[in-house]
Structure 1
């Protein structure tokens, strides 16, 4: 059954006070209503859409912000100005004085304590000294061997080798040149003891000489290394290098003392031999006098 309310072209009777509308006008009105009921696109302009768009735009427009919870800007500026004044009076002035003091100290160090010209002159002098030390080292290593016979040449080469690994070979080569202690029946016990002690001290001195030569080479190499470091060292590192040089000086003094002790031992053995010879001479004289007296008494 057709719903009469949905029929748009049904004839409505006017009220008694309204005038009758012509049929043509009714048809035109119905056509306008149908066109008005056509769906519009969402992007079609309208007053409501324009109003909503303006309200949304107002939400995103930046507004002036008032900081400090509403405190007056003039009061903030006055406080900042006061802080700046205090900083200038109580902080900037002392810092300026400290800066001037540091600049004065720096100028004093550059011009008086560590002048660049004096540092360059010292480096140049060190370079010259290193050159002279190199020449001295070459002179120190000049060959001084003078033996001509095979056995003596072999012993001399060991003594001048400057190599501590040759120390154990000294005794054999020494005996091949100077011989061994005489046999028990060939000399008295005193003479044999004196000879044995003299040979022992002579060999000790030769061995000690090899060790001291090796130590001297080590000291010279270390001195050359320190000289090269001083040539390229910064002024601030000079005390460190100086301390290292002092350590090596103490070591060199210890080595020198060891060499001096060896010389004193050698000299002591020489004096002891002379004393022993005097004692043996006295003993021989006493024995000879006894024999002579005995011979004369028998006559």
Structure 2
């Protein structure tokens, strides 16, 4: 049996409105129009109906559901449930913590750091700073009293409160008080005692110059601390207090150094007195020997 799909004599139907030229019947080919009538393009077929239905399904808009297919009522219910849980398990503890913090803050503002007391303390510090300024001006009053050129220069160096002038003290001291006696002009004991006295006097003057410079630095630091305290916040007061304590320790150390220098000066003074007594005793022995020899020779 001949396959109808491979039959060359099968009449092909056009899909669209285009019409094909019908081959002229030949004498050798049988007339197929008699057995297969020609169908028009607009006549419905199953394939055309399916394709039209698919096109309508694609083109015609349909109802869209938002939220990726999740119902809005379900979302609202979930949000309300979440809000209820947060109000029950989070809002209440946070409210308690907030009340505790407010109580602590109120206690600090009214009891520990009251604003009235802070302002009063700042006002007192300002008054103290004014008094300290007056004291500082009194500390810088000129007390120079020398009249001669060499002594005036030496006095200016000793009262300069500048530690860099310490090396020039020795030369200026010698220009004012002189040097140790020559070897043949005094006994070795007197020369030694004089040299030691001059050395201790110069040491005391140098130490006094250093202590004046330290006192000047301390006054400057105290003035700066007072200004900072008058403008500082209450929380920074312990820091400034600790720094002030450090300066107090330093001031005590400087005072101890000055006291030690005074003790050395007093010691050299006592040593000079002792040396003077010893020299006097030695001179008396020599004089007694001379008198005894003179009387014996008679």
TM-score bracket, normalised by the shorter chain, equals 0.7 to 0.9
Q: What is the alpha-carbon distance in structure 1 between the residues aligned to residue 79 and residue 174 of structure 2?
A: 106
Match of 1:283 in 2: 282
Structure 2 residue ranges without an equivalent (≥5): 1-19, 25-39, 43-50
Distance 1:260 1:57, change over 3 A: farther
Q: Superposed, which structure 2 residues align to 1:211-290 within 5 Å? A: 211-290=210-289
Match of 2:84 in 1: 84
Q: What is the alpha-carbon distance in structure 1 between the residues aligned to residue 292 and residue 274 of structure 2?
A: 27
Matched, 1:62 2:65: yes
Distance 1:4 1:100, change over 3 A: closer
TM-score when scaled to structure 1? 0.75
How many corresponding residue pairs? 255
Distance 1:111 1:273, change over 3 A: same
After superposition, the C-alpha distances for 1:10-67 in whole angstroms (9 at most, x for unaligned) are xxxxxxxxxxxxxxxxxxxxxxx9xxx9xxxxxxxxxx99995675353463368654
Distance 1:53 1:243, change over 3 A: farther
Match of 1:108 in 2: 107
Distance 1:55 1:61, change over 3 A: farther
Match of 1:210 in 2: 209
TM-score when scaled to structure 2? 0.75
Q: Superposed, which structure 2 residues align to 1:83-232 within 5 Å? A: 84=84, 88=88, 91-232=90-231
Q: 1:243 offset after TM fit, Å?
A: 1.2
After superposition, the C-alpha distances for 1:222-279 in whole angstroms (9 at most, x for unaligned) are 1111111111111111111111111111111111111111111111111110111111
Match of 2:9 in 1: none
Q: What is the alpha-carbon distance in structure 2 between the residues aligned to residue 64 and residue 135 of structure 1?
A: 80
- Paired residue secondary structure (1:58): coil
